[in-house]
């Protein structure tokens, strides 16, 4: 009886030809934007999945070159022209990113400001390795603050960009990865792939399901190690986290991380990590960074302005503040005790 069953099963599988079993997940890793990108595809033909991932890789390598904040490329060319006070004809993709940056800067009341490239460089965050030198002096920071760089000082005519301020150096590090993840999602969908996760170092978008079952997503612990909570998702959605564990250096026992507060010129204080869930990955990425800067005082107001309703903010006090809709979906690690459910209104 058992043998017959196995035989029948074998026949059923054989009849499927080259199709993988429905619950098989095809996984491949790419490296771009300084991050390992893990793509998982469920229930698709293996060759189709492999070709689609190859196309995503080609796209990411191009974006990595064009939008890099300190290596030679299209964005660097534009930043040099801005510093020299000259108008510059740039790539259409950069024009689009500038328009998005301006929108995010306005909606975050200036807390998210992709024109802080000079400040990031001053802190040593525009280099591949963590800086091995003291933080900038108060005088250097004051000098930067006095220039008041903003993306709103950039003017676009066709593909030509001109800046009123030579110090408005662009760095899209706060949302370009999100935008790219979204482009990768579009590319996979256009190739007929329906069930997948594009995971860029813990920041991810997903589509569909895993053979009819929800994808299970882990929200990173604010220590940077392990998960703080899990949630199950199907359909479409993106989960982005900004944390002070991501990139930092230590000088004389003091830790300095890479999310800077444009009001003070120093690393933002008050939050350990912020997770945002939204349909639009560029918005989720920008909002996670913006709400990190907004901290425990202003995150509810800025979340409303930016149009995100699923937010989890862990403060320095180790209290997890979570919006009601997200609270219903998150399953916290039993070790994490302090959770406050707070609506995203001021
Ligand atoms: P990660 O890319 O490491 O996941 P984030 O999405 O939080 O982290 O982005 C952090 C990056 O955003 C920094 O490395 C820097 O390039 C940029 N950045 C830092 N502070 C700001 C800010 N106040 N506004 C806009 N971009 C910022
Ligand atoms: Mg971000």
User: What are the pLDDT digits (tens) for 60-71?
Assistant: 999 999 999 999
Phi and psi at 82, nearest 5°, equal -60, -45
Q: Residue of the nearest CA to atom 16 in ligand 1? A: 173
pTM of full prediction above 0.85: yes
CATH number of 67-174: 1.10.3980.10
Output the CA 40–ligand 2 centroid distance in Å: 22
Residue pointed to by tokens 């219903």: 328
Instruction: Give dist(CA 282, CA 284) in Å, integer.
Output: 5
Label residue 326 exposed, middle or buried (CB < 10 Å: 0-12, 13-18, 19+).
buried
Instruction: Determine the residue of 36, 174, 282 to mutate for testing ligand 1's pocket, defined as the one with the most ligand atoms within 8 A of the Cβ atom.
Output: 174
pLDDT for the residue 12: 34
pLDDT for the residue 90: 98
pLDDT at 20 over 60: no
Domain boundary assignment for the chain: 5-42+195-341, 67-174
pLDDT at 13 over 90: no
Q: Which ligand is nearest to the CA of 282?
A: 2
CATH number of 5-42+195-341: 3.10.520.10
Contacts of 316-319 with C-beta under 8 Å, sequence gap 24+, read: 316/269, 316/270, 316/271, 316/272, 318/222, 318/272
Instruction: Determine the residue of 131, 204, 243, 259 to mutate for testing ligand 1's pocket, defined as the one with the most ligand atoms within 8 A of the Cβ atom.
Output: 259
pLDDT tens-place string over residues 103-137: 999 999 999 999 999 999 999 999 988 888 999 99
pLDDT at 300 over 80: yes
> What is the secondary structure of 219-279 as a DSSP string?
EEPTTSSSEEEEEEE-EEEEEEEEETTSSEEEETTEEEES-B-TTTSSB--SEEEEEEEES
Average pLDDT over every residue of 236-249: 93
pLDDT for the residue 346: 67
Q: Which of 327, 335, 336 is nearest to 309 (CA)?
A: 327
pLDDT for the residue 10: 33
Instruction: Give dist(CA 319, CA 337) in Å, integer.
Output: 8
Question: Please, which pLDDT band fits residue 175 given cuts at 50, 70 and 90?
Answer: very high
pLDDT tens-place string over residues 180-207: 999 999 999 999 999 999 999 999 999 9
Ligand 1 atom with least separation from CA of 125: 14
Output the CA 222–ligand 2 centroid distance in Å: 15
Structure tokens given for 12: 């059923």
């Amino acid at each position: 009886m058992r043998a017959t069953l196995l035989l029948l099963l074998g026949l059923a599988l054989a009849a499927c030809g080259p199709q993988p079993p429905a619950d098989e997940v095809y996984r491949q890793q790419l490296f771009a934007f300084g991050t390992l990108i893990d793509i998982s595809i469920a229930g698709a033909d293996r060759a189709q999945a492999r070709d689609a991932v190859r196309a995503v890789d080609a796209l990411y390598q191009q974006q990595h070159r064009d939008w890099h904040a300190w290596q030679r490329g299209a964005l660097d060319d534009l930043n040099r022209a801005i510093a020299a006070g000259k108008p510059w004809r740039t790539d259409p993709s950069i024009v689009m990113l500038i328009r998005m940056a301006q929108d995010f800067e306005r909606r975050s009341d200036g807390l998210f400001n992709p024109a802080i490239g000079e400040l990031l460089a001053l802190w040593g965050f525009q280099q591949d390795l963590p800086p091995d030198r003291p933080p900038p002096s108060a005088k250097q920071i004051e000098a930067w603050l006095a220039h008041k760089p903003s993306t709103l000082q950039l003017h676009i005519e066709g593909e030509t960009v001109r800046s009123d301020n030579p110090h408005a150096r662009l760095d899209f590090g706060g949302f370009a990865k999100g935008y790219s993840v979204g482009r990768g999602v579009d590319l996979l969908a256009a190739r007929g792939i329906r069930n997948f996760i594009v995971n860029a170092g813990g920041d991810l978008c997903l589509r569909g399901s895993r053979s009819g079952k929800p994808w299970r997503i882990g929200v990173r612990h604010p220590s940077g190690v392990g998960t703080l909570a899990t949630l199950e998702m199907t359909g479409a959605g993106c989960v982005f986290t900004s944390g002070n564990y991501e990139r930092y250096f230590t000088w004389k026992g003091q830790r300095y991380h890479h999310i800077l507060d444009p009001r003070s010129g120093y690393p933002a204080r008050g939050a350990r990590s912020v997770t945002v869930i939204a349909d639009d990955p560029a918005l989720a990425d920008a909002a996670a960074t913006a709400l990190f800067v907004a901290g425990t005082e202003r995150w509810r107001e800025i979340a409303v302005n930016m149009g995100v309703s699923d937010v989890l903010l862990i403060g320095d006090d180790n209290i997890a503040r979570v919006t009601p809709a997200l609270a219903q979906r998150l399953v916290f690690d039993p070790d994490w005790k302090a959770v406050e459910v707070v609506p995203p209104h001021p």
